[in-house]
Each structure stands twice: as C-alpha cells, then as structure tokens.
Amino acid sequence: MVTKRSVSLVDEVATAVEEAAKQDGVSFSAWLSNAAEKQLQVRQGLRGVAAWEGETGSLSAEELAAGEALLARLRSGVSGVASRVRRR
C-alpha cells in the first residue's frame, strides 16, 4: 500500500535525490521512501541501545570512542579482535 504525500525539498536536495535515484535505478518516490525507512531503522535501533543502557548502565565516553574507532577500522578493511574497554 502506498500513501501519497506532498513534501517540499530544498532545491539542491531534490536535485541530488533525482540524480541518486537515477543512478540506483529507482523512482524519486522510491528513493525517498527507502531513505526514510533507513532513518526510521536507525532511530529504532538507537532506542534499542538506549533500552539496553537503561538496564546495564550507559556506555562511557571511552566505550563510545572505542566503538567508533572499531567501526572506522572495519570500514577501512582492517580486521580486529575483541577487546575490553574499562567501564567507568
């Protein structure tokens, strides 16, 4: 099922979406819908993390930094092994 909505986009964003949709072989609407769906997944996921933190304690600044660093290494193609960060 599809709901039609009228949305306003900044000119530059609309142009960029048009180009990206063309490259991805989907319609303008489908591209926007996919982007919105992904954003909702991120939002829902961060709520899941917050729920876990509520049970076990918030991730410390050191833990957050370690997570960011590990993600950067993996995205750049470098494997890693589990390490523990000290909990504050």
Partner 1 sequence: MSLARREGLVYGVGALHAAARGDRMMWALHRAALSNGIVPVIPAVAVAEAYRTEARGDRIAELLDGTEVEPFSSEAARRSGELAARCDTTELATIAVIELADRRNCAVVAQRQAVLRNAAALLGHELVLYAV
Smallest gap from Cβ 2 to partner 1, in A, equals 21
The answer to whether residue 42 forms part of the interface with partner 1 (CB under 8 A) is yes
Q: What is the CA radius of gyration of the chain?
A: 19
The answer to whether residue 46 forms part of the interface with partner 1 (CB under 8 A) is yes
Q: How open is the CA angle 45-23-31, to the nearest 5 degrees?
A: 40
The answer to whether residue 51 forms part of the interface with partner 1 (CB under 8 A) is yes
3 state SS of 26 = coil
Token pair in block for residue 61 = 């600044």
The answer to whether residue 22 forms part of the interface with partner 1 (CB under 8 A) is no
Task: Give the residue carrying structure tokens 């997570």.
Answer: 67
E runs forming strands in 9-50: none
Residues contacting partner 1: total by CB under 8 A: 34
The answer to whether residue 70 forms part of the interface with partner 1 (CB under 8 A) is yes
Q: Which residues bind partner 1 (CB under 8 A)?
A: 38, 41-42, 44-49, 51-53, 56, 59, 63-64, 66-68, 70-71, 74-85, 87
